[in-house]
Structure 1
Amino acid sequence: MEVKLHDIGEGMTEAEITCFLIKPGDYVQADDPLIEVQTDKMTAEIPSPKAGFIREIKVKPGETVTVGTTLLILDASNSKEHRKQIIPEREKKIAERSPMEKINQRIVVTRQNHDKRILASPFTRKIARDNGIDIEKVSGSGPAGRIIDEDVYQFMTASQQTKTAIRQEEIVASSEQTSYANDTIPFRGRRKQIAKKMIHSLFTIPHCTHFEEVDVTDLIQFRNELKKRNENISATAFFLKALSICLKEFPIFNARLDEENEVIHLKHEHHLGIAVDTEDGLIVPVMRNVEKKSIRSIHAEMKQLTEKALENQLTLKDISGGTFTISNVGPLGGSIGATPIIQHPEVALVSFHKTKKMPVVTDDDQIIIRSIMNLSMSFDHRVADGATAVRFTSRFAELIHDPKLLLLELV
């Protein structure tokens, strides 16, 4: 039977083959992991639909394949005849040996097959790959011999002296070279998937970006007061709650455009995507039903999602179903504005930038120093107009300028 790449994520159309967890001739049980793949959002393992022998692998590591592509051929029969068809040379050699040799050979084969069934999470495998570690050489200390992150790190430490020696030899060899080559980095995996998704969004959605200045002076002061009471709530948690209030008042930005049926679907649930900068590229975990959550719970859940994103441990549910996206690049410093690309098929995205102190003229012509944050809002101009975007960001600025107003909107 053919084992094909199926849709493992919302809107997924393709994935990159990162590594094989089996080889031709291996026997697998139902649900055993077969192949590890990488999409623009997550790393996942393709499980075996049935028990049987791996007859043939149809794809190669590093290859990008579309949904529906045949990955491998699985012989789901457990009969001895089918076994001989799959690994004829091995059976022939065993048949030619003496009874005692046959027993010993089958023990070796069984042990080899058992050894190849490596138990490890995709993230653990990634640690090994990124550090050039053959995971089959690592001894697992987890349940049933499962290899955990610490096992890989210990293996790396044990071989550190060898790696250092190799590194020194490479440096010496490099210094003796008379010609130089350009540095390159691979364009595949999540980076390649992100690129394709961004191109699709940019050429599908007519982007328009609106900029706003937001006075966060009182919010900073309010957060400092909370810290004195051991309540360390991030500014982003307040931003998310304020955005949810704005989306309730301006639902056009929490919508989906269905051009085929000529209708705009307004979403009542606020599932907000939070862009996280990871080593492998941008990933957007989704916080669900922000409209029903307190600022304290928003902060706690956002922290959990961010940690899972950085550790590459997000589930399918964690990254799907977003209705609106935010990107907080202010903590990185230096950013005063941008034209962020919308997450298709969403309608809008807001990016928060650097906060800096600057002089502000009051209504009575007094000059005072306030903390001002820049905001960029990209929106789908097919769905909404600039005037609506201005009203949306003005309402957001009002709520953040005086955070006590948030209390009036809580339900």
Structure 2
Amino acid sequence: MIEVKLHDIGEGMTEGDVLTYLVKKGDPVDVDQPLVEVQTEKMVAELTSPVTGIVKDILIDTGKTIAVGTTVMTVEAKENANPFSHNESMKESAPAAETIIQTDKTHLMEKPKHNRIADRVKAAPYTRKIARQHQVDLKLVKGTGRGGRITVEDVYRFIENRDNTGLDPSAAANLVIDSQTPIEKRPEAEQTDVIPFKGRRKQIAIKMAKSLYTIPHVSHFEEIDMTNLLDYRKELKALNVNISAVAFFLKALALSLKDYPVFNAKLDEEKEVIKLEKEVHMGLATDSDEGLIVPVLRNVEKKSLRTIHDEMKELTKKAQENRLTVKEMTGSTFTISNVGPMGSIGATPIINFPETGLMAFHKTKKMPVVNEQDEIVIRSMMNVTLAFDHRVADGGTAVAFTNRFKSLIENPKLLTLELV
């Protein structure tokens, strides 16, 4: 009998929520076939079958939070099937009485393509719970969230439509519902304002609290003239080259971190050393329906503006659709937060522990500025915030680092001279 367990995929993971089973007791399964979806603190992971066989038993109910190492289900291996074929590192000499296999990191990170998974709905654990309580088949609900994700509001609208029309669920699903339609008839039991404090939300809280209480934060503010960069981007667009402003930010930061490596560092208090990272792996703080998530753009220092732009766009999309792999969410050395498009003019962000610094980019707006000739001119100005660990760096170094970044952004053509 093979036990399928929730495996530790790193980043301090200790638990996960069982979302939905993709098979049922008695179903035949193949090696690497997805069996169950589990919501970890950062992603939805699929536990896959380590062998070809039959689902013998499902041990955990959906909606339950389980610890790493918990057996979720058991699979009876098909006769003559090699239960160790999926993992060459397992020793074939292991005692027969201890034939217990856990899904490994590869099974969690990779999502094999099966036709039955292609139409899987996108919905958070709480949304699924509400759907189960009201006997709603999520496959019939049209999602209005990011990337087609089904929200709690979508479920309630479906319930209203179904109850008010008296139609069967499949017919009710075909009715067009305005996504702005207010929900007035919710069950009394659902009137309490409660948000589950678990999964990603809980892990965000734990990490933020650890960072704030461990690191003596200092926030340095600066304003940057974006006019030349915006004009340069227009020139590039005329040549059918579209590079986002954030791609320029990332490249300028990579060059600035090369000059001031103390901000691309991690403090090891136990060993009493500050480890200066040689590679720049940029964390991209991203807002998603599931909460804050930080995909990682690796080796920014080695990449061109076009490559940075393309890879950043793809990572952001995957983050919003909850499709990131473990590797794409770990190992960052410095983090950015681009909150300007949301209208932010300033903030004091919390550092992505155990990094040393985080830079936030705020709203760019046109303002009257006095130039070197004492003339009042209109320029496009942006505020930035550098939050840094005062145990590792001092204010003077932070100002010099920010000034280096500022000079590259205000003179973008100079920046291109230093690209790889």
Instruction: Give TM-score, length-normalised by structure 2.
Output: 0.73
Residue 233 (structure 1) aligns with = 243
Q: Which residue is equivalent to 1:33?
A: 34
Cα separation, 1, equivalents of 2:306 and 2:228: 18
| Structure-2 residue corresponding to 1:14 | 15
Instruction: Decide whether the 8 Å contact of 1:62 with 1:188 is kept in 2.
Output: no
Give the whole-Å Cα distance in 1 for the aligned partners of 2:340 and 2:371: 25
Unaligned residue ranges in structure 1 (runs of 5+):
80-116, 139-148, 154-159
* Deviation digits for residues 337-367 of structure 1 (CA, Å, limit 9, x no counterpart): 1121222222211110011222223344333
| 1:53 CA displacement | 4.4
For 1:351 and 1:176, locate their aligned partners in 2 and report how far apart those are by CA, in whole Å.
40
Give the match's secondary structure for 2:9.
coil
Q: Is the 8 A contact 2:160 2:185 kept in 1?
A: no
Q: Distance in 2 between matches of 1:294 and 1:177?
A: 54
1:124 aligns to what?
120
Inter-CA distance 177–162: structure 2 relative to 1 (3 Å threshold) = closer
Within 2, Cα distance between the matches of 1:177 and 1:16? 25
- The correspondence for 2:298, drawn from 288, 291, 294, is 288
Aligned partners of 1:409 and 1:38: how far apart in 2?
Answer: 42
Per-residue deviation, 1:51: 3.8
**Residue matched to 1:71:** 72
Does the Cα contact within 8 Å between 1:15 and 1:64 map onto a contact in 2? yes
Structure 1 equivalent of residue 85 of structure 2: none
1:203 to 1:35, Cα distance in 2 relative to 1, 3 A:
farther
AA matched with 2:242: N
Which moves more between the two structures, 174-183 or 24-33? 174-183
Which digits, 9 at most, give the CA deviation of each residue in 1:227-253, with x for residues without a partner?
222222211111111001011111111
- Given the alignment, which residue of 377, 386, 390 partners 1:377? 386
Q: Which SS does the other structure have where 2:346 is aligned?
A: coil
Q: Which residue of 1 aligns with 2:161?
A: 164
Q: 1:201 to 1:58 in 2, by over 3 A?
A: farther
What is the rounded CA distance, in whole Å, between the counterparts of 1:380 and 1:128 in structure 2? 34
Give me the identity figure in percent: 56
SS at 1:280's partner residue?
A: coil
Q: How many Å separate the matches in 2 of 1:338 and 1:37? A: 34
In angstroms, what is the RMSD of aligned CA positions? 3.6
More helix by share: 1
Partners of 2:124 and 2:290 within 8 A in 1: no
CA distance in 2, matches of 1:127, 1:51: 29
Matches within 5 A, 1:309-348: 309-333=319-343, 335-348=344-357
Counterpart CA distance in 2 for 1:8 and 1:248 is 31
Shift of 1:176: 11
Distance 2:251 2:188 in 1: 60
Q: Which amino acid aligns with 1:196?
A: I
Contact kept in structure 2, 1:240 and 1:290, CA below 8 Å: yes
TM-score under structure 1 length normalisation: 0.75
- Amino acid corresponding to residue 317 of structure 1 in structure 2: K
Which structure's CA Rg is the greater one?
Answer: 1
Structure 1 residues 47 and 368: alpha-carbon distance in aligned structure 2, compared to 1, 3 A threshold: same
Distance 2:158 2:191 in 1: 28
Which whole-Å CA distance do the structure 1 matches of 2:4 and 2:23 have between them? 13
Distance 1:119 1:197, change over 3 A: farther
Cα distance in 1, alignment partners of residues 187 and 124 from structure 2: 30
**Residue 186 and residue 27 in structure 1: after superposition, are their counterparts in 2 closer, same or farther (change >3 A)?**
same
**What 5-or-longer segments of structure 2 have no aligned partner?**
81-113, 142-146, 151-156, 167-180
Distance 2:63 2:214 in 1: 28
Is contact 1:209-1:339 (8 Å) kept?
yes
Partners of 2:161 and 2:35 in 1: CA distance: 34
- The amino acid that maps onto 2:120 is T
Aligned residues: 354
Among 260, 267, 279, the alignment partner of 1:250 is 260
SS at match of 1:126: coil
Give the letter for the 1:387 counterpart.
G
Of residues 24-33 and 210-219 in structure 1, the stretch that sits farther from structure 2 once superposed is: 24-33
Q: 2:374 corresponds to which residue?
A: 365
Q: 1:177 to 1:18 in 2, by over 3 A?
A: closer
Letter in 2 for 1:396: F
Give distance in 2, aligned partners of 1:346 and 1:128.
29
Match of 1:44 in 2: 45
Do the aligned partners of residues 386 and 52 (structure 1) sit closer, same or farther apart at CA in structure 2, a change above 3 Å counting? same
